[in-house]
Amino acid sequence: MSTTDDAPRSSAASGDDDMPDIVDVVMEMDDADHGSPPPLPAIANPSLPAHLEALAGRARDYIEAASSANTRRAYAADWKHFSSWCRRQGIEMFPPDPQVAGLYIAACASGTATGDKKPNTVSTIERRLSSLSWNFAQRGQPLDRKDRHIATVMAGVRNTHASPPRQKEAILPEDLIAMLETLDRGTLRGLRDRAMLLLGFAGGLRRSEIVGLDVGSDQTEDGRGWVEIFADKGLLVTLRGKTGWREVEIGRGSSDATCPVVALQTWLRLARIAHGPLFRRVAGQGRAVGVDRLNDQEVARLVKRAALAAGVRGDLSEGERAKKFAGHSLRAGLASSAEVDERYVQKQLGHASAEMTRRYQRRRDRFRINLTKASGL
């Protein structure tokens, strides 16, 4: 098990598992495309009175806050990808041309968009198209996604290349317990990682939600929520998402060894954290706590590292196992193992529909309702 210090790493060097969770990114982009119109950027205007410059800066801050950091990162990466393709083809990006967008989609699907000749998956192409639409709209030049050059090509791509979604392996309770045993309880890093795994699992939290938490409300500018611990019942997590605020209730476990509340209290007490980011970098061979908030990529790395160390899915090769686990494995684990009415799982995960919750359920009774027998056969 690796005990290297927590350190920032570039996305390019760390692989696909460090990219934003694809389901959440596509959903958020889709909301931007089909919901209310995306906000137009506060572009510098030479004729703007000097006394309004500060207000224009504040408007830019609000525009940035309209989407999550993960989504903005995906917007930027996809726009750069499209820009590079246009430049290599000698094609003008502006004004937005549906025929050019259709050709770009075809290039992505056929593997000719970049030099590696690797075709993009349908979900990646859909994300890129949503990103183009958003970026063009931000520049005041909307792209018509219903144009036949886009809609027909996209329909053909789906019919030709669509495949079942590749889902991360769910971390089930027995897996999580084995993973916890691989962590060093004698170091602050081990205690922190223990609290992160248990909180992420019991709350069904996204990795960005885990690291975005503060100890209390309104403590940092980049905080996305906070926790409130109740002596007897458990803890309440208040989260700020793209559709507003939501609360997640996390009850106490059946034993201290697997209780997320106990794990969090232990981490906070021994790390001497009373204000600011909940989960921080630990240096000095796991004994010195910094002030900086953890990057959400560290959650994916932690899940992968602990799952491999615990031997989860030992029936697979190490290479196959490494691809199976990431931050979403915790959310999928809760959805798959909680023996309660589905609507409670849906609420915990913050899903708008039961259908989305079912995508996270890797282990459920698919034949509970037998329409064959119900029809009299």
Q: What is the pLDDT of residues 92-112, one digit of tens each?
A: 999 999 999 999 999 999 999
Copy the structure tokens of residue 191.
Answer: 């205690």
Least confident of 97-101, 212-216, 316-320: 316-320
pLDDT at 54: 84
Check residues 27 and 65 and name the one with the higher pLDDT.
65
Residue that is written with structure tokens 């937005």 in the block: 96
pLDDT for residue 241 is more than 80? no
pLDDT at 304: 95
pLDDT at 366: 62
- Position 288: which residue type? A
CA neighbor of 334 nearest in space, from 262, 260, 268: 260
Residue % of the chain over a pLDDT of 90: 59
How far apart (Å, rounded) are the C-alpha atoms in residues 118 and 85? 14
Are 271 and 277 contacting, i.e. CB atoms less than 8 angstroms apart?
A: no
Cβ-based burial of 253 (10 A; exposed 0-12, middle 13-18, buried ≥19) = middle
- For 282-305, what is the mean pLDDT? 91
pLDDT for residue 132 is more than 60? yes
Instruction: Name 214's Cβ contacts closer than 8 Å, sequence gap at least 6.
Output: 220, 223, 225, 226, 227, 276, 277, 278
How far apart (Å, rounded) are the C-alpha atoms in residues 357 and 360? 5
pLDDT for residue 36 is more than 50? no
pLDDT tier at 207 (50, 70, 90 boundaries)? very high
Check residues 57 and 13 and name the one with the higher pLDDT.
57
Are 186 and 313 contacting, i.e. CB atoms less than 8 angstroms apart?
A: no
pLDDT at 46: 59
Alpha-carbon dihedral of residues 254, 258, 262, 267, nearest 10 degrees?
Answer: 180
- Average of per-residue pLDDT values in the chain: 85
- For 154-170, what is the mean pLDDT? 88
pLDDT for residue 72 is more than 60? yes
CA atoms within 13 A on the CB side of 157: 25
pLDDT for residue 175 is more than 90? yes
pTM higher than 0.75: no
pLDDT at 341: 82
pLDDT for residue 90 is more than 50? yes
Whole-number Cα distances in Å, 298 to 10, 36, 316 = 12, 33, 24
pLDDT for residue 263 is more than 60? yes
pLDDT for residue 285 is more than 70? yes
- For 273-290, what is the mean pLDDT? 91
pLDDT for residue 26 is more than 50? no
Check residues 10 and 362 and name the one with the higher pLDDT.
362
CA neighbor of 205 nearest in space, from 330, 361, 96: 330
Least confident of 15-19, 179-183, 280-284: 15-19
pLDDT at 86: 97
Least confident of 167-171, 327-331, 354-358: 354-358
pLDDT tier at 293 (50, 70, 90 boundaries)? very high
pLDDT at 17: 41
Secondary structure letter of residue 277 according to DSSP: B
- For 254-282, what is the mean pLDDT? 96
pLDDT at 100: 97
pLDDT at 47: 65
pLDDT at 159: 95
Least confident of 86-95, 206-215, 368-377: 368-377
pLDDT at 13: 35
Least confident of 59-73, 159-173, 254-268, 287-301: 59-73
How far apart (Å, rounded) are the C-alpha atoms in residues 51 and 63? 20
pLDDT at 216: 97
Rounded to the nearest 10 degrees, what angle do helices 148-161 and 98-110 cross at?
20
How far apart (Å, rounded) are the C-alpha atoms in residues 329 and 334? 9
H helix or E strand, kind and range, residue 69: helix 69-89
